[in-house]
Structure 1
Amino acid sequence: MGYVLNGEELEVDDEDFLTEPNFSDEIVPIIAEAEGIKLTDDHWTVIRFMRERYQEDGHTPNFRNMVAMLEEQDDSIDWKKKLYELFPKQPNRQSAKVAGLPKPFGKGGY
């Protein structure tokens, strides 16, 4: 499928993840629309979190660690439930995709 940003088609893999990270906020609504997601402030909170983790760690966290880290930042939200509401197709994978990051690798797709 590919995504077009400013007239340039970005390279994707067979699951439509970008092959190279793109940290432009302009790419997020393009991918979100393709995923059927209407962005909210909560989506952006998770997107920023995933981008920070990728930039600091070189990869995104697995779901369990994602929930634990988000709870450390804001424990007033049931993040496990919220993440499935925001990103119903495997939250850590789908949030990474919408954030413009490459496909997470490892056990269970993390």
Structure 2
Amino acid sequence: MEREINGKMVETDPEGYLVNLEDWSEELAIELAKEDKLELGENHWKVIHYMRDQFAQNGTAPNLRFLQKGLKEEFGNEWGDKKFLFDLFPFGPAKQAGRYAGTPKPTGCV
């Protein structure tokens, strides 16, 4: 599926993940969030940038368990709470944040 973001055509798979990971931009994340009727705030961006950093370091996007553990270590106990993360990303923190972050679908996510 192709989308136009700021005059540039960006291709995604049927689930909304980028075909070419180099096409990621914050504008793309904002547009994907709008499609989900979600406005990205500071906490969303922390998770999105964490997902991008983990993918850059490890070559894979963290699944929910690793996301919780890593965010808790980086930002504090609240961030390791599944409910807290689902309040931010109701369609699944690892999947939805990964889509916005321009990473591939996390391993183990259905």
- Do the structures match in fold with TM over 0.5? yes
Q: Distance in 2 between matches of 1:108 and 1:25?
A: 23
Number of matched residues?
108
Unaligned runs of 5+ in 2: none
1:16 & 1:108 partners in 2: Cα distance? 14
CA RMSD of aligned residues (A): 1.7
The answer (yes or no) to whether the contact 2:95–2:109 under 8 Å persists in 1 is no
SS at 1:37 equivalent: coil
Q: Assess if the C-alpha contact under 8 Å between 2:2 and 2:10 holds in 1.
A: yes
Tell me the TM-score normalised to structure 1 length: 0.86
Return the alpha-carbon distance in structure 1 between the equivalents of residues 12 and 24 of structure 2.
Answer: 15
How does 1:1-110 map onto structure 2 within 5 Å? 1-21=1-21, 22-79=23-80, 80-104=82-106, 106-109=107-110
Give the structure-2-normalised TM-score. 0.86
- Which structure shows the bigger proportion of residues in helix conformation? 2
User: Whose relative contact order is higher, 1 or 2, with alpha carbons under 8 Å and at least 6 apart?
Assistant: 1
Would you say the 8 A contact 2:71–2:79 is kept in 1?
Answer: no
Instruction: Give the direction of change, closer, same or farther, for the CA distance of 1:107–1:77 in structure 2 (3 Å limit).
Output: closer
